[in-house]
Chains A and B, each alone.
Chain A
Amino acid sequence: MTRARDLATRAALAIGISGMLLLLVVPIAALLLRVHPGTLFARLLEPEILAALRLSVLTSVTATVLVVAGGLPLAYLLARRDFRGKRVLEVLVDLPMVLPPTVAGFALLMAFGRAGLAGRALEAFGVSLPFTTLGVIVAQAFMSAPFFIGAARAGIAGVDPRYVDAAATLRASELDTFFRVVLPLSMPALIAGAAMSGARALGEFGATITFAGNLPGTTQTMPLAVYVALQSDLDAAIVLSVVLLAIAFTLLFWLRRPGNQGVPVVARAGR
């Protein structure tokens, strides 16, 4: 009886694992099996595809730089201080991760659109975000910020407080301690967080198309170009998808390299 139950449990586990692996692997395999290396490289150099690639790299790198610059002080605040309203702030920071991207794009439009809450003020300075490359960057930064902030926060909180105390008794102010102790010791987590954030920005679709539109050369990033190509040019869609897939795979594989301390931090980022 026990043996039969044991076998049944094992069978159920095997079915569960195989089912999940099939779900994860089959779509990737299907995509890769459709691509011919010759076509891949030839089509990769076509102006439309290159333009989407160039725009994606430019916007996702810029968005990541902005997220790191603004997210690092926020991550430090969340990791090191207790204050009233901290939980609300934590939820606000995490929200873009669970928000439907189209809702996020719509919210950005309400905020930064011509008639939006902050849009009118920006308009006065001659800055317009919707349907511009800058808008793509803002949408990507909005959607990818939680990935960096979560990882950075965990990394900073993970710095042994003994070192922070030691720095304080060695004449280092809080700012000094941040730059000379906390920053270097949490660097693996910060790099991992920035990489995850960059990958998320690169793959951003819903918020971008809602807030910045789909203008080739200006706001049409690679995921948007895939969407358009799906309707008219399947080969182009495959090439663009494979490039995105390759970038994402390389990034994640690099983050999981032996000895990298950043990975568990990224795993904790979602909390």
Chain B
Amino acid sequence: MRAQVARKLGEFALDVTLEARPGSTIALLGESGSGKTTLLRLLAGVLDPDSGHIELEGVVWHDGTRRLLDAWRRPVGYVAQDYALFPHLSVEENVAFGLRAEGRVPSETRDRVARTLDRLGVRGLAQRRPSQLSGGQQQRVALARALVLEPRLLLLDEPLAALDLQTRRSVRGELHRLLESLSCVTLYVTHAPAEAFAFGDQVAVLANGRIAQIGPPEAVRAAPATADVAELLGL
């Protein structure tokens, strides 16, 4: 994936360049208001950049002037911070949503949904509504809904932030194993340095809409580029 995106939103300006190879995870670390979610929305296509270039596996999604691929045509999996599970649909229907939109035959949809629910350990919740799920269960369902579509770019917006401390600890290990098994590019947004170091093959520190530093976790930790980065890392 190669992305260079610039976007102004009122007083705030985002200008970011990122590159990642398939199977790798970039942990995007930044305080709230640093532009993390805006960046994910730009990549997902629900927001357009003012200028730049977004490309994945040789296909250009946006050339800076025109959106060449609409959000719904991009092979993206997006897990929003509060999961945004459709409240009027059951867990199973939520996970099947994208496959139905793609026009998959019912038998394939059923199989893939069942397999993905199994993989995330939530098959027993298939008939429940999102309001009947705990935070941890909602997170798994949201992941299942994104992963069932076999995305080539997985965007995770603070996937652990909505969970209580105990659930976060238990989910973290599972999520780590899951991300390791994927062949797509993953962008993992967080404000917690520990999560960024645990999940990222690369850690990108975002401050005021720009990448202040990017590199392997150990390199970033060993030599923060600025005093602000060091402070953000809690060093």
Contact = CB atoms under 8 A, between A and B. Distances in A.
Find the residue from A163, A167, A168, A173 having the highest chain B CB count within 10 A. A168
Size range of the interface on A?
A: 10 to 19
Interface in B99-116: 100-102
A150 to B, nearest CB: 23
Interface stretch (B9-17, B83-91, B216-224): B83-91
Task: Give the interface residue-count category, chain B.
Answer: 20 to 34
Contacts of A162: 80, 82, 84
Contacts of B46: 165, 168-169
A176 interface: yes
Contact of A170 (B82, B101, B155): B101
A10 interface: no
A163 B97 contact: no
A182 to B, nearest CB: 11
Contacts of B71: 165, 168-169
Contacts of A169: 44-46, 71-72, 74, 76-78, 146, 155
Nearest to B44: A169
B45 to A, nearest CB: 7
Q: Is the interface of B mostly helix, strand, loop or mixed?
A: mixed
B87 A176 contact: no
Contacts of B136: none
A173 B80 contact: no
A176 B84 contact: no
A166 B101 contact: no
Which of A167, A171, A185 gathers most chain B CB within 10 Å? Answer: A171
B41 interface: yes
Nearest to B77: A169
Interface string B57-86: 000000000000011111011101010101
10 contacts: A165-B46, A166-B84, A167-B101, A169-B72, A169-B155, A171-B72, A173-B72, A176-B72, A181-B86, A184-B88
Given A166-B86, A168-B72, A169-B146, 15 more contacts: A160-B84, A162-B82, A163-B86, A165-B46, A166-B80, A168-B71, A169-B72, A169-B74, A169-B76, A169-B78, A170-B72, A171-B72, A171-B101, A172-B97, A185-B88
Interface of A: 160, 162-163, 165-173, 176, 180-181, 184-185
